[in-house]
Structure 1
Amino acid sequence: MVQKILICLLCCGMAAATQQAMAQNQQIRPGTQKTIDPDITYDRAGRPIKKAKGSDSLQHRDAFADSITIFYRFFDSTRNRIIDSSINDFYTRFPLPANYHTLGNYATAAQSFLFNPLMKPGFDAGFHQYDPYQFTIENTKFYQTTRPYTELSYLIGSKAEQLLNITHTQNRKSNFNFSFEYRFGNAPGILKNQNASQGNMRATMHYQTRNRQYEYFFIYLSNKSASSENGGLQDVRKLDSLALNDPYELETRLGQGSTFTRNPFNTTVNTGNIYSNSTILFRHHFDLGKKDSLVTDSVTIKLFYPRFRIEHTLNITGADYQFLDNAVDSIKYRTYYNVVLPNNARLSFRDRWNSVTNEFALISFPDKNNQSQFLKAGIALQNLKGTFGDITTTISKYHNIYALGEYRNRTRNQVWDIEANGQLYLNGLNAGDYAALISMKRLLGSRLGYLNIGFQNVNRSPSFILDPKSDFPVLNAGGFNKENVIRLFGIYENPGASFKAGAEYFAVTNYIYFDSMFHAAQQAALFNVLHLNAEKKIRLSRHWNWYTEIHLQQTTGQPPVNLPLLFTRNRIAFEGNFYTNLFLSTGVELRYNTPYKMDNYSPFMGQFLYQNTQSISNRPDINLFLNFRIKSFKGFVRLENLNTLNLKKGFEFSKYNFASGLYPYPGLWTRLGIWWNFVN
């Protein structure tokens, strides 16, 4: 009943918005962004104040004391970015990207529809099914703000799905910023033993001395994934004969009935995976260079131009990967996995890792006026400690020594961006691994946009889950060769025309994959993958826009990789700025992939499995959305999976799509979310 009411409200909202657009003759007013004034500094509360000539003792409040200027940089980047206030795409605020699918609900194992090999050399534990939900060093933001800034968001969905996010950042001084971010997501799921949760936390600090010679970055992040595993349905054909149109009625291949619960606050996992990791990163450097000053009519600004930098990075990481079943159902294990275990026994596979990496680097700046051009060379020592098993444990210690180099140049006229970097593992567990990347971006013209081309090559050791010492029972562990991936890419982007197109070409040898629940395989022969994509905003009328995203993929060489030939996402939206402060985007979203042989999934190994027997043809996903923004408040209302409508059974949503042969997606799904930011 609630879902029917929400459908009516969405339809009424879209109709009212259309009438409003016809009644008004307004143009969309773009948002404004204040520029950063070099003559302004900040007090301890982050308020802007004028710099006094030759001294900071005479300070006055600025006329814009109640406004905010905020920007951020990603870690290890020199490019400033502003906070995204757009509302036209729900997935810019949802942790899971639109090109991923799960096992049926948020926080379960996720896989991309697009070819996405691991392009990272060196040590890898081998567990990546929860990567899209994680906080990482690479996606960490370092802010600079004139006022304390806080963002709160809360999303609630069907079956008590919930997602909470809190972000806070502030400058205690103009040269010291800290931030804190916390995210928690929980989803009970539509099947027995499918509850899953994700918890993420991150804290950062950034400090630079007033003479600009010493600077440090501090990151602490923590991720925990707790996902029950049911192995999928015992018989998917019974979905057509549900008594109450609730898949929870059906039996699954893992878990005992007495342990099942639909409590939305329950995060207990009796049968499933519990993964956690935490990282402390501290990077600091000392610069040698030239001091200077800029004198204006009323202000003297001290300047410093680095020419040579000494840098040290400390990275301490701990990770824990465990599959457990606290009450084994021996009949299910014998029937579906050909494994003989005593009934009610406790089953556990567990690998724990500790890593300490010290990296030392020397950096040179050839042009004192361009800090985005530098040459970097360094060496690093990584110490690893692995603990295998749960009750009875074994311990192994390893090390890696690797060299690194990097060159970046973002030209001052912003015509060329060049990036080249590489790593070579000289000694240790992963000796012989390497990675190389070169990327060149060129501004073709103010109206023509940008062209970015590049080359990447990675040679990497097999993940440690394939080592015989791992506690996870890979039947043929050991004896795998290094995997090699070559990637050629090109991206053309024209912001003025709202158009982006790209191409990727992969050449892969010694590809490692899983082909059954406990068995891995390797294809030594070379195979290729070609990926073409395009994105475009098409203006249909004054207030109607069409956003289209298209991906085409093709393999050669008969690889053990199954990909959809076509994946596309389209949104047709009514959008505009009404009543001065109301920004609206409402319409329909469609997501579709051509039929293909979707991977199966091993809950024991945490791996998606190649299979070549069953092709799955899903209906296009159809979602209605109503997004709006009123000043700093943003709201999102979604009705998802309208494609599951089954007209043969009346107004019933029971024509399920599948994430694999055994895992159905839910029927009609509602989501309501709010995002609200505050300036203190």
Structure 2
Amino acid sequence: MLLQLLKKMPVVLLLLLGNRALAQVQLRGTNGAVGQRPQVGYDAQGRPIKKAGGQDSLQRRDRNADSITIFFKYYDSSRLRTIDSSINDFTTRFPLPYYYHSLGNYSTASQSFFFNPLMKAGFDAGFHQYDIYAFTLENTKLYQSTRPYTELAYVLGSKAEQLVNVLHTQNKKSNFNFSLEYRFNNAPGFLKTQNASQNNMRFVAHYQTLNKKYEVSFIYISNKSASSENGGLQSPSKLDSLALNDPYELETRLGRPGRALRNPFNTTVNTGNTYKNSNLVIQHHYDLGTKDSLVTDSVTYRLFYPRFRIEHILRIGSSSYQFLDNFPDSTNYARYFNAVPGGTTVRYYDAWNELNNEFSLISFPQKNNLAQFLKAGVAIQNLKGTFDTTSTTRLYNFSVLSEYRNRTRNQLWDIEAKGQFYITGFNSGDYEAYISMQRMLGRKLGYLRIGFQNVNRSPSYILNPASSFPVKNRGSYAKENIIRFFASYDHPKGWKFGGEYFAVTNYMYYDSFFSAKQHATLFNVLHLTAEKKFKLARYWNLYTEIHVQQAPGQDVLNIPTVLTRNRLAFEGNFATNLFLSTGLELIYNTAYKADNYSPFIGQYFVQNTSTISNRPTIDAFVHFRIKSFKGFFRLENLNTINLKTGSFNKLNFAADKYPYTGLWLRFGLWWNFVN
């Protein structure tokens, strides 16, 4: 019932926006927001500290006030953060970042313009083309809020593209918070057999006993990606001579020929991929330590400083990956993919169930700094795989892990080191190691961060002969080893510099629609980046980001040498409550042999016959915020204009035979409420 309601959120959203009974939010501690000044502060662990001049507290709030104190921390992090209310960068709110590309339609298979190998040891099913759209454990937020807080978002784009996002969080008591987040987007596409949708849901509950000794977090995450696959256009050259100036006229390599139904409510996939995953995580611990108290004029706070912790994390997960073609055309399969469909329906299906138990002991050297700890533990993972709904296999892994973190109280040093080694089981011999150190060089010099990462991992299970997906050359591949050095520097005047260097051995990649290869010899990749905000005039700003990459010079990896984004914006605070940012955005990458895509195995693969040289992408935007309301109006892909005809049909390409959209209009709004 809840999912049916959420799928109809465009209508529900309009009704909510007209409800004047909801109070407007004024956030304390958010970027650019205003509100009543609270009389209680919080230390680095979120514990209340009395401020001079008042007696307010989390337990005693003026419920008639329209202010709120809200903050959050990411899962597996102790650093408190505030909600971002900035408006100048739309990509911070849109799930697909500017440095990723899809297959031309939002919600379809995505790929980073940067070298982005999988840096995770242990078991991996092998399907990652929709990861950027998903809710994950790593991007889960644990909130604390003095008032119930709700955020509604709706984005409407051309060709009936839409995105709906709902977030609600509240503290039932000072020691119990829950949040619910739901996101749905549907993009019918501008080509045939291109409709795609993403359905994401996340529920988080966090509870701590009044004596502070026991704490438990409950996290449930569900993701569904449904993306039709058309295999690209049969004749991309016909884009310049369309009778109705609509690419929907053109035939594609997959899908039912001549079928032309663009339905904004259709999420059915007759030819394409449907991936589902759900995860339940229960993390709880019991602490031994020192009791203390904080006495104010009206409230006595019970404080507890952990010195030793016993922790258990339970993960229960399920995932399924399916390619289905209900209308296979044997002629197109042979002509474009050199394949023969095995019957009237083509179907490949892998599914996995996981049970993971992690037990750890944690010590805290300093009683008043929970951001410094030493952790040691073990993890036991049990897996069950099902292929084509009949064949099954069972796997297990046993690993040891350790971690050390220290964010000093003066915030001059921030150190994080962690590792995991798989002792026995299917992924025996896999390991991952990570260390980073950040140092504040001074108020006038900023922050310097350096780090090292090394991963030794088994090939993904899609390359195992048991998988039902049609990878031809399966076999006993060697473990992939990736070393990464990285550094970044943030200057107080707005300069940001960064770099990362990869050294890769036994690199696994795909080189056709159905085959994989392993490059045994060592190769290197270098990626440098620079960012700066230039103040041109009182209301004029230029935001520049430049990325430079050096590819290995071998036929195993193709990435653009340069990627840059520049935003020229007229922005400022006008008419008291109006914050405005409007201007032009330009994104450009140098020509390169962009990877092709195999819809059958869900993988981008290297090709060396076609070079893609695109025009710079140019977007016009008007972003604004009035109190708790944020609006985004964007006219994208102005670069596709054909000056000879006045139409927008000079399309860029995401991959071979996959064009981007033409002129694209998006309007989005985000509205926050305090209940």
Output the TM-score relative to the length of structure 1.
0.91
Q: Does 1:672 align with 2:671?
A: no
Structure 2 unpaired stretches of 5+: 1-30, 48-53
Give the residue type in structure 1 aligned to 2:308.
F
Alignment partners' CA distance in 1, 2:583 and 2:618: 11
User: Does structure 2 conserve the Cα–Cα contact (< 8 Å) formed by 1:357 and 1:383?
Assistant: yes
1:114 aligned counterpart, secondary structure: coil
1:497 aligned counterpart, secondary structure: coil
Alignment partners' CA distance in 2, 1:402 and 1:448: 42
Tell me which moved more, 459-468 or 295-304: 295-304
User: Does structure 2 conserve the Cα–Cα contact (< 8 Å) formed by 1:219 and 1:282?
Assistant: yes
Alignment partners' CA distance in 1, 2:668 and 2:359: 44
1:331 aligned counterpart, secondary structure: helix
The 5 Å alignment of 1:518-537 reads 518-537=514-533
Give the residue type in structure 1 aligned to 2:661.
P
The 5 Å alignment of 1:563-602 reads 563-602=559-598
Alignment partners' CA distance in 2, 1:229 and 1:628: 37
Decide whether aligned partners of structure 1 residues 342 and 375 sit closer, same or farther in structure 2, where only a CA change above 3 A counts: closer
How far did residue 277 of structure 1 move?
Answer: 0.2
Q: Equivalent of 1:605, from 601, 605, 610?
A: 601
User: Does structure 2 conserve the Cα–Cα contact (< 8 Å) formed by 1:326 and 1:347?
Assistant: yes
How far did residue 657 of structure 1 move?
Answer: 0.2
How far did residue 241 of structure 1 move?
Answer: 1.3
Give the residue type in structure 1 aligned to 2:455.
V
Alignment partners' CA distance in 2, 1:125 and 1:217: 27
Alignment partners' CA distance in 2, 1:431 and 1:636: 50
Q: Which residue of 1 aligns with 2:458?
A: 461
Q: Which residue of 1 aligns with 2:324?
A: 324
Alignment partners' CA distance in 2, 1:349 and 1:596: 32
The 5 Å alignment of 1:51-450 reads 62=62, 65-257=65-257, 259-296=259-296, 298-341=298-341, 345-390=344-389, 393-450=390-447
The 5 Å alignment of 1:605-644 reads 605-644=601-640
Give the residue type in structure 1 aligned to 2:388.
G
How far did residue 147 of structure 1 move?
Answer: 0.4
Q: Which residue of 1 aligns with 2:50?
A: none
How far did residue 66 of structure 1 move?
Answer: 3.4
Q: Equivalent of 2:650, from 652, 655, 667?
A: 655
How far did residue 31 of structure 1 move?
Answer: 3.8
1:438 aligned counterpart, secondary structure: strand
2:537 aligned counterpart, secondary structure: coil
User: Does structure 2 conserve the Cα–Cα contact (< 8 Å) formed by 1:39 and 1:299?
Assistant: no
**Residues 214-264 of structure 1, C-alpha deviation per residue, up to 9 Å, x if partnerless?**
001111010000000000011111111111111111111111136542011
**Residues 603-645 of structure 1, C-alpha deviation per residue, up to 9 Å, x if partnerless?**
0010001011211100000000000000000000000000000
2:261 aligned counterpart, secondary structure: coil
1:488 aligned counterpart, secondary structure: strand
Give the residue type in structure 1 aligned to 2:619.
N
Decide whether aligned partners of structure 1 residues 39 and 285 sit closer, same or farther in structure 2, where only a CA change above 3 A counts: closer
Give the residue type in structure 2 aligned to 1:654.
N
2:238 aligned counterpart, secondary structure: helix
Give the residue type in structure 2 aligned to 1:668.
L
How far did residue 63 of structure 1 move?
Answer: 8.8
Give the residue type in structure 1 aligned to 2:414.
D
How far did residue 338 of structure 1 move?
Answer: 1.9
How far did residue 353 of structure 1 move?
Answer: 0.3
User: Does structure 1 conserve the Cα–Cα contact (< 8 Å) formed by 2:154 and 2:670?
Assistant: yes
**Residues 302-330 of structure 1, C-alpha deviation per residue, up to 9 Å, x if partnerless?**
22110000000000110000000012111
Output the TM-score relative to the length of structure 2.
0.92
Q: Which residue of 1 aligns with 2:25?
A: none
Alignment partners' CA distance in 1, 2:430 and 2:353: 20
User: Does structure 2 conserve the Cα–Cα contact (< 8 Å) formed by 1:330 and 1:342?
Assistant: no
Give the residue type in structure 2 aligned to 1:475.
K
Q: Equivalent of 2:545, from 527, 546, 549?
A: 549
Decide whether aligned partners of structure 1 residues 38 and 652 sit closer, same or farther in structure 2, where only a CA change above 3 A counts: closer
**Residues 357-407 of structure 1, C-alpha deviation per residue, up to 9 Å, x if partnerless?**
0000000001111111000000010000000014xx100000000100000
User: Does structure 1 conserve the Cα–Cα contact (< 8 Å) formed by 2:61 and 2:146?
Assistant: no
Alignment partners' CA distance in 2, 1:51 and 1:576: 33
Q: Which residue of 2 aligns with 1:10?
A: none
**How many pairs align?**
636
Alignment partners' CA distance in 1, 2:662 and 2:346: 33
User: Does structure 2 conserve the Cα–Cα contact (< 8 Å) formed by 1:591 and 1:622?
Assistant: yes
Alignment partners' CA distance in 1, 2:458 and 2:38: 47
Alignment partners' CA distance in 1, 2:278 and 2:260: 30
Tell me which moved more, 222-231 or 301-310: 301-310
1:647 aligned counterpart, secondary structure: coil
How far did residue 300 of structure 1 move?
Answer: 3.1
Alignment partners' CA distance in 2, 1:498 and 1:310: 42
How many percent of aligned residue pairs carry the same amino acid? Answer: 66
Give the residue type in structure 2 aligned to 1:302.
R
The 5 Å alignment of 1:433-512 reads 433-494=430-491, 496-512=492-508
Alignment partners' CA distance in 2, 1:64 and 1:459: 56
User: Does structure 2 conserve the Cα–Cα contact (< 8 Å) formed by 1:259 and 1:270?
Assistant: no
How far did residue 298 of structure 1 move?
Answer: 4.9
How far did residue 555 of structure 1 move?
Answer: 2.3
User: Does structure 1 conserve the Cα–Cα contact (< 8 Å) formed by 2:55 and 2:298?
Assistant: no
Structure 1 unpaired stretches of 5+: 1-28, 43-48
Alignment partners' CA distance in 2, 1:519 and 1:93: 36
Alignment partners' CA distance in 2, 1:103 and 1:211: 53
Alignment partners' CA distance in 1, 2:314 and 2:674: 34
1:313 aligned counterpart, secondary structure: strand
Give the residue type in structure 2 aligned to 1:210.
L
Alignment partners' CA distance in 2, 1:570 and 1:36: 42
Alignment partners' CA distance in 1, 2:465 and 2:63: 67
User: Does structure 1 conserve the Cα–Cα contact (< 8 Å) formed by 2:431 and 2:457?
Assistant: yes
Give the residue type in structure 1 aligned to 2:405.
R
**Residues 280-311 of structure 1, C-alpha deviation per residue, up to 9 Å, x if partnerless?**
00000000001122345554332211000000
Alignment partners' CA distance in 1, 2:576 and 2:582: 18
Q: Which residue of 2 aligns with 1:3?
A: none
1:595 aligned counterpart, secondary structure: coil
Give the residue type in structure 2 aligned to 1:312.
H
Alignment partners' CA distance in 2, 1:239 and 1:499: 42
The RMSD of aligned alpha carbons is: 1.9
User: Does structure 1 conserve the Cα–Cα contact (< 8 Å) formed by 2:571 and 2:582?
Assistant: yes
Give the residue type in structure 1 aligned to 2:607.
Q
How far did residue 556 of structure 1 move?
Answer: 3.2
Alignment partners' CA distance in 2, 1:39 and 1:447: 27
1:556 aligned counterpart, secondary structure: coil
Tell me which moved more, 198-207 or 255-264: 255-264
Q: Does 1:514 align with 2:513?
A: no
Alignment partners' CA distance in 2, 1:115 and 1:539: 32
2:566 aligned counterpart, secondary structure: strand
Decide whether aligned partners of structure 1 residues 141 and 385 sit closer, same or farther in structure 2, where only a CA change above 3 A counts: same
Give the residue type in structure 2 aligned to 1:104.
G
Decide whether aligned partners of structure 1 residues 323 and 182 sit closer, same or farther in structure 2, where only a CA change above 3 A counts: same
Give the residue type in structure 2 aligned to 1:178.
F
How far did residue 32 of structure 1 move?
Answer: 4.1
User: Does structure 1 conserve the Cα–Cα contact (< 8 Å) formed by 2:39 and 2:56?
Assistant: no
Alignment partners' CA distance in 2, 1:233 and 1:122: 38
Tell me which moved more, 586-595 or 321-330: 321-330
